[in-house]
Amino acid sequence: MKVAGTVAAGTAVATTSATAQGAAQFTNIKALAFDFYGTVLDVFSATAPACEQLFPGKGNQLAQIWRTKQLIYILMRNSMGRHREFSRVTEDALVCAANTLQLQLTEQKRKQLVEVFFLGQSTYPDVKSGLEALKKQGTKLIVLANGEQKTMEEGAKRVNVFDLFDRFISVEEVKVYKVNPRVYNHGADQLNITNAELGFVAAHSWDIMGAASAGLPTFWIQRTPTEVQEELGFKATATVKGMPDIAPLLRG
């Protein structure tokens, strides 16, 4: 881990809008790392309709509980020191969600829904244009995410954004999930840059908090105006409404 300009725990970095942000503070950024599921891919775009098709009247509720359990399980496994591949955690979360709603989840339905989660999702509307603008500027773009490398790469290929990324880095390389600092440190180490030189982009405030705690400059995509940042002692370096708002911040 190469840490430069690390933010001390409990120190808040002022959140600013894209329009008010100057490019000067981002001149040291040499690459951008992106969360994948929930930032690049809309995790409800395919799962919610698929859940509704298999369980009429319960689909949206099932999809919501499934996603919540998935996030809870990765945090629990981090705390327990019991790592398990993201695909298997996702499957476990689905089983629990179905049990919560007393739904009969057959093996066929389980496999179908897990496949839809990983290979059926679409990107958010702002993603491709935002990535293309950054790529045009010559910014090095990587994925740093909870997920398995081959599965993320296949998902990216299916929505035509694979070629916009220079590399896909999986938490499986360190056997621990975000928000453990080892993940963010590993991303910088793999690029042979300092943490302060690796910008991090996510639509999840909790992920932004983890990256900020590890000393990365952060870009929070606030896609929902009513969404607020987590209260964990840090703030996003920049808050934007969509991915296309990031490229202007890096122009120097």
Q: What integer pLDDT is reported at residue 122 of this predicted model?
A: 97
- The one catalytic residue among 35, 42, 207, 245: 35
pLDDT at 2: 52
Q: What is the pLDDT of residue 25?
A: 74
Q: CA 147 to CA 96: how far, in whole Å?
A: 20
Q: Is 42 a catalytic residue?
A: no
Q: Are 44 and 233 in contact (CB under 8 A)?
A: no
**pLDDT value, residue 23:** 56
The one-digit pLDDT tens for each residue of the chain (252 residues) are 554 443 333 333 334 444 344 456 788 999 999 999 999 999 999 999 999 999 999 999 999 999 999 999 999 999 999 999 999 999 999 999 999 999 999 999 999 999 999 999 999 999 999 999 999 999 999 999 999 999 999 999 999 999 999 999 999 999 999 999 999 999 999 999 999 999 999 999 999 999 999 999 999 999 998 999 999 999 999 999 999 999 999 975
Class of domain 47-119 (CATH, top level):
mainly alpha
Tell me which CATH code domain 24-41+123-250 carries.
3.40.50.1000
For strand 31-34 and strand 238-240, is the pairing parallel, antiparallel, or unpaired? Answer: unpaired
Sketch the domain layout of the chain as residue ranges.
Answer: 24-41+123-250, 47-119
Cβ-Cβ contacts under 8 Å for 248 (sequence gap 6 or more): 18, 23
Query: What pLDDT is attached to residue 27?
Result: 85
The pLDDT of residue 252? 54
Which residue, chain included where needed, has tokens 């840059």?
A: 193
